[in-house]
Structure 1
């Protein structure tokens, strides 16, 4: 009987590679399981029965050229190791596709739990919920205070013209995954371009900053910020806009993380004010950044929906992603008009 393993990761091949590259790291046969919750790159929990690691690789099949860069994600996590930003320790990066069929990297398994639903927060109580969620803008402030040059990331992006390039990039990503009519998406794209704000001085940006991309320990502390695949140098308010978007979303029962209805959850306005106070940045155009976040997520979700139609996704909930895309488009238009 052939060995069972999750799609995209064969433990025996990984073990042989690790023994060759990091002799003595692995103490026995590896087993692996897919970590649920991710909607883009695939994440696996791997163990030899004694130690645990996490492996990240691109999705199976249809891959957009710039959206699943393992080397970038590995580099930024490694660079942030000695900063106030909590990140996992990195073990190694493999760009040889012969090992697992795609580039991948291995990092330490960190303590803590991702919180993805209002129900999970409700179980923690209003006081702990408030403290955990308020830690998000505080940690974001710490990230945006990191000097990229001091951690070897001075060349990690091209911040000049960042917002214009972002709009072009996500327009191209949409075209690459577009397989059906999406009313309003072109109007939203055009309106964002017509109302482009002036960016503040650039910082390192995460690109997908939200509650379920951090781990929280039993004391309510953020132990690790995860999923750095979209990180670059650019406009820090794009991170704030995304956090704001997730804080005001209310999609009960959907596969998208929505937690704003939990008792004790701070409002989006309070999170924005907390970030403004901690960072000293002008946040008066946050509506534009939030609308951009809705557009960006609509494009990402459409890409996931497209891969699902091709049978190239792993995990539960993908069959419901496509129905959410119009919701994000409509919310983006509504938010931009408010601003």
Structure 2
């Protein structure tokens, strides 16, 4: 299996997890367009293993130690996360650092077609819980949970603008004039940050496992977590909703178009009622989120062109970037 040598993993797992068997089998879980996620079993127990993608890897975007640390820190908070079990920084085992966590039962809803059979009332509850979980995360005091040194919150927004420009440049395969213009406008008018909090970095419904009672069972995919301005999470979630409306029928997440799902205005209003953060410059955050997502997708597009992706669904990623950048330019004119 690409990225997972079970012969090397077996002795490590048996030593790291008491009772872990050595006769292992594994399955690559669907939807892993960045870090690779596997279900590993010894026939009795099943665990989830996360490792970086193969080939071209963007700097800072696939740090397994950071992902493991933030989930471990949130274990006793109101934010549901899987139990972290073991971390390995020995690249001789799988060729890269990785970690193992518990398997949590739940569904990562990605498309509106998956929510529609539930009905509008259940879909609304799920989207309300999504916003409430984000507000709960942003209410956690990083110092209290041992994450005081997890990031550099001062100047966070300016660094984000510079970081995603570097990531975009690192995945260069073509000219993107709209990306250049969006970056120029963002860099020229960076607002002051809101109060420091824990930033998930890719918060959306398919990064939450929802249980059969429509409750969040676990927030997953913490690979871009840091300390900084939490409003970037809210903006990115909104941009995913906008993108899904623009490119229906693609592999892009489009749950926000399901009947009953909170509208963007309702999402922002519900979040605002559970937070004291200032939203008057939210248009900037939407523009930054659009640029960030475009840089991430361009990295995936780069890996696909070079045969370094695992799984299906990558063919149309490159075309998604154009409407995303246009929406980012429009967002900079919006106010709240």
Q: TM-score normalised by the shorter chain: which range applies?
A: over 0.9
Structure 2 counterpart of 1:287, from 275, 283, 290 = 283
* Counterpart secondary structure, 1:44: strand
Q: Could you tell me how far 1:338 is from its partner in structure 2?
A: 3.0
Matched, 1:188 2:192: no
1:305: which partner in 2? 301
TM-score normalised by length of structure 1 = 0.96
1:16: which partner in 2? 11
Q: Is the 8 A contact 1:183 1:326 kept in 2?
A: no
**Aligned residue pairs, count:** 333
2:136: which partner in 1? 142
* Counterpart secondary structure, 1:223: strand
* Counterpart secondary structure, 2:144: helix
Q: Is the deviation greater in 52-61 or in 279-288?
A: 279-288
CA distance in 1, matches of 2:84, 2:93: 18
Structure 2 counterpart of 1:126, from 120, 124, 133 = 120
Matched, 1:59 2:53: yes
CA distance in 1, matches of 2:32, 2:128: 23
Q: Per-residue displacement from partner, 1:96-133 (whole Å, max 9, x unpaired)?
A: 11101111100000010100001001011100000001
Q: Per-residue displacement from partner, 1:16-37 (whole Å, max 9, x unpaired)?
A: 11112334223x5111111111
Q: Could you tell me how far 1:284 is from its partner in structure 2?
A: 2.1
Q: Could you tell me how far 1:246 is from its partner in structure 2?
A: 1.8
TM-score normalised by length of structure 2 = 0.97
CA distance in 1, matches of 2:282, 2:319: 27
Q: Could you tell me how far 1:38 is from its partner in structure 2?
A: 2.2
CA distance in 2, matches of 1:115, 1:268: 18
Structure 2 counterpart of 1:331, from 308, 327, 336 = 327
CA distance in 1, matches of 2:59, 2:260: 40
Cα RMSD (Å): 1.1
CA distance in 1, matches of 2:178, 2:77: 42
Q: Could you tell me how far 1:335 is from its partner in structure 2?
A: 1.4
1:3: which partner in 2? none
Q: Could you tell me how far 1:81 is from its partner in structure 2?
A: 0.5
Instruction: Map residues 93-172 of structure 1 onto 2, 5 A cutoff.
Output: 93-172=87-166
1:50: which partner in 2? 44
Structure 2 counterpart of 1:265, from 254, 261, 286 = 261
Query: Where in structure 1 do 4 or more consecutive aligned residues deviate above 4 Å?
Result: none
Q: Could you tell me how far 1:226 is from its partner in structure 2?
A: 0.5
Q: Is the deviation greater in 207-216 or in 13-22?
A: 13-22
1:35: which partner in 2? 29
- Structure 1 unaligned segments of length 5 or more: list them: 1-5
